[in-house]
A and B are shown apart, each in its own frame.
Chain A
Amino acid sequence: MKQKTIKVDYLARVEGEGALWIDIDGENVKQVKLKIFEPPRFFEAFLRGRAYTEAPDITARICGICPVAYQMSAVHALENIIQIKLPNPLRDLRRLLYCGEWIESHGLHIFMLHAPDFLGYPDAIQMAKDHGDIVKMGLQLKKIGNEIVKLVGGREIHPINVKVGGFYKLPKRQELLSLRGPLEGAIGNIQNAMDWVSRLNFFPFKMEYELVSLANDSEYPMNEGRIISNRGLNIDVADFEKHFEEQHVEHSNALHCIHKGYDSYLVGPMARFNLHFSKLSVDLQRMAFNAGLDIPCYNPFQSIVVRLIELAYALHEALRIVDVWQDPGAPAVDINMQPGVGFAATEAPRGLLYHRYEINDQGNIVEARIIPPTSQNQKQIENDLFHFVPTQLNQSDEELTLRCEQAVRNYDPCISCATHFLKMHIRREPVGV
């Protein structure tokens, strides 16, 4: 095998700026580096000295795709300091807001970003020429998510209605009920989407993952719970930093997060789905089986199916909340912030999002720590590629590159969160050199 360098200067359909470098020595992968060169964004430093009330709006600016996740982790961590529990209608409204974000984010990724990989198109615009119905379905789903976020959060992008203790303003019940028709319509159509996605071709590739997610007694995790894994981890969120460690690596401006004493781990839809399959409705469980998923599912290329199951879950959950929600009267509970440290993790579309805040007696933020899902998954993405590439060495460099890009997109990485296009290099060296 001759030495080769394959260079792809632009990998689209990920959020943020990064590059991928793979060195291949004969039939062995020497190294895989997901190089995130998007500059550090210093949000934790911006937060220092600011009033605790500003955290939800400042952190929402970290991401245009998942601002709700940042708001949710921020308010829950701050509420954790004073140990308040919100009345159920406010809790439900936060869950509804989060459903909106899952619908938006998963809809965008499944139909516009990931589907072209499976159908052999360079992008969604080209794909739309032959599969306009799929693109329209994705756009319609995303619009429903947008409407939920706009109604509950105040606007589609970077919502502004969330505060510590609840919301600034409550939607009217009639406004929430206006979401019923679109949600029911989308639920009625989701089987068509599932039929389509289950017919896609998936590489027969599996990994052994440590799966990490929140766990709540009775419901599919979103806003609260303990942190568990399939390898026995079961900890309070406050203990996250005792068990997980961010490491600096030379090739990335995003920190790599590892499970101390272990190694990489996986957060996100596949972790949630595998750990909490029993909390899905029987209909959704059946849908997963009929789509051909093994339970647990360890094929990262099938994450597109898992994401669709989660999207369906979010539609059902949103409809449930819309139906039962009653106006509690006050949009928020009174807050008497105290000095202290608060912790929270919530389930962003891409996985566990951890926040910690220390507040002083002036109510200002002394220190903030934010660990986004993409930085937690970054090492796992490299590990996936390390094992996936050897199974694909008989492919041309061009095809191998495309497949590696697809493997990265399995994670729907948000590089802007972790620190906008991805440049990729594959270098092959001859056997025995």
Chain B
Amino acid sequence: MSEIRTRYHDNNPILVGIGNPWRRDDGLGPSFVQEIQRRSIWKGEFRVVPGEMLMILDILESFCRSKEKIVFIDAYACTVNEGVPSKNAVTSYPIVLDRWQNLKSHQIWNTSMSTHGWGLAEALNMAETLGQIPEKIFILAIPGYDFNYGEGLSCPALKQLEIATEEFVKFLEKVKLDA
């Protein structure tokens, strides 16, 4: 079967923000991409996808061929700790994973806002099964609190976005991903 391929520039890493901005904090991925674009601290490409497994698979397949580096940014569901902190409290912290398999041990594994319950974790699992997994995948998982219908990040998610951005800058300095 002749194939349709999504083209990406070779030799450029890609930053992929995953999420649906109309499900409140699920929009952390797209918001993070916007923030990084605004700060001009990423020399690679950007992409925003709504979390649909097949769209993520498409990106993985394309990058599998060029053996390039890919960073996924996604929200994970963070439950507020007992003691009921104030509405603006920030609980938990962004997580940077340099082995996507570690995803399974984090709550993000169960945070799919996508159709049929398929999200990033399922896409990575499927891509590995099909032999279409790129060499280097990094995941930045940002805690989200409110995944109900509606626009705009919750207050603690906005704070998490700020923390995640700073963490990402440090991460880039360490691994020189976009060099």
A residues sitting closer than 8 Å to B (CB atoms) are 12-15, 64-65, 108, 113, 124-125, 128-129, 132, 135-137, 139-140, 142-144, 146-147, 156-157, 181-182, 184-186, 188-189, 416, 420-421
- Please report the C-alpha to C-alpha distance between residue A108 and residue B55 in the assembled complex, in whole angstroms: 12
B1 touches A135 (CB 8 A): no
Q: A124-B126, A129-B129, A135-B130 are in contact. Are A64 and B4 (CB under 8 A)?
A: no
B117 touches A143 (CB 8 A): no
Q: A182-B4, A185-B1, A185-B2 are in contact. Are A113 and B130 (CB under 8 A)?
A: no
Contact of B115 among A15, A124, A125 (CB under 8 A): A15
- Quick check: is B167 within 8 A (CB to CB) of the other chain? no
A144 touches B50 (CB 8 A): no
A143 touches B2 (CB 8 A): no
Neighbouring B residues of A182 by C-beta, 8 Å:
1-4
Which residues in chain B, 1-48, are within 8 Å of chain A measured between CB atoms? 1-4
- Please report the C-alpha to C-alpha distance between residue A143 and residue B57 in the assembled complex, in whole angstroms: 11
- Quick check: is B52 within 8 A (CB to CB) of the other chain? yes
Neighbouring B residues of A15 by C-beta, 8 Å:
115-116
Contact of B126 among A125, A137, A188 (CB under 8 A): A125
Give min CB distance, B17 to chain A, whole Å: 15
A143 touches B58 (CB 8 A): yes
Neighbouring A residues of B131 by C-beta, 8 Å:
132
Neighbouring B residues of A144 by C-beta, 8 Å:
4
Q: A12-B116, A12-B117, A13-B116 are in contact. Are A184 and B126 (CB under 8 A)?
A: no
Neighbouring A residues of B129 by C-beta, 8 Å:
125, 128-129, 132
- Quick check: is B54 within 8 A (CB to CB) of the other chain? yes
- Quick check: is B125 within 8 A (CB to CB) of the other chain? yes
A143 touches B126 (CB 8 A): no
B130 touches A128 (CB 8 A): yes
Binding site secondary structure of chain B: helix
Neighbouring B residues of A132 by C-beta, 8 Å:
129-131
Give min CB distance, B50 to chain A, whole Å: 6
Give min CB distance, A21 to chain B, whole Å: 21
- Please report the C-alpha to C-alpha distance between residue A125 and residue B120 in the assembled complex, in whole angstroms: 13
- Quick check: is B122 within 8 A (CB to CB) of the other chain? yes
Interface residue count on the B side (C-beta < 8 Å): 19
Neighbouring B residues of A65 by C-beta, 8 Å:
115
- Please report the C-alpha to C-alpha distance between residue A132 and residue B128 in the assembled complex, in whole angstroms: 11
Q: Which residue of B has the minimal Cβ distance to A39?
A: B149
- Please report the C-alpha to C-alpha distance between residue A15 and residue B50 in the assembled complex, in whole angstroms: 16
Q: A128-B130, A143-B4, A144-B4 are in contact. Are A156 and B55 (CB under 8 A)?
A: yes
Give min CB distance, B90 to chain A, whole Å: 28
Q: Which residue of B has the minimal Cβ distance to A61?
A: B22
Give min CB distance, B126 to chain A, whole Å: 5
Contact of A157 among B1, B50, B117 (CB under 8 A): B50
Contact of A140 among B1, B55, B117, B126 (CB under 8 A): B1
- Please report the C-alpha to C-alpha distance between residue A135 and residue B125 in the assembled complex, in whole angstroms: 13
B130 touches A14 (CB 8 A): no
Digit string of B58-83 for contact with A (CB within 8 Å is 1, else 0)? 10000000000000000000000000
Give min CB distance, A139 to chain B, whole Å: 6
Q: Which residue of B has the minimal Cβ distance to A414?
A: B115
Nearest first, the 6 closest Cβ-Cβ pairs linking A and B are: A185-B2, A185-B1, A128-B129, A181-B2, A189-B1, A182-B4
Give min CB distance, A187 to chain B, whole Å: 9
Contact of A139 among B2, B50, B52, B57 (CB under 8 A): B57
- Please report the C-alpha to C-alpha distance between residue A318 and residue B117 in the assembled complex, in whole angstroms: 30
A125 touches B122 (CB 8 A): yes
- Please report the C-alpha to C-alpha distance between residue A14 and residue B118 in the assembled complex, in whole angstroms: 11
- Please report the C-alpha to C-alpha distance between residue A113 and residue B118 in the assembled complex, in whole angstroms: 11
Q: A125-B125, A125-B129, A129-B129 are in contact. Are A139 and B54 (CB under 8 A)?
A: yes
A188 touches B1 (CB 8 A): yes
- Please report the C-alpha to C-alpha distance between residue A168 and residue B1 in the assembled complex, in whole angstroms: 32
Q: Which residue of B has the minimal Cβ distance to A130?
A: B129
Give min CB distance, B2 to chain A, whole Å: 4
Q: A125-B125, A128-B129 are in contact. Are A140 and B3 (CB under 8 A)?
A: yes
Q: Which residue of B has the minimal Cβ distance to A104?
A: B54
19 A–B pairs (Cβ distance < 8 Å), ordered by A: A15-B115, A113-B116, A124-B126, A132-B129, A132-B130, A132-B131, A135-B130, A136-B130, A140-B1, A143-B3, A143-B58, A146-B54, A157-B50, A182-B3, A184-B2, A185-B2, A186-B1, A416-B115, A420-B117
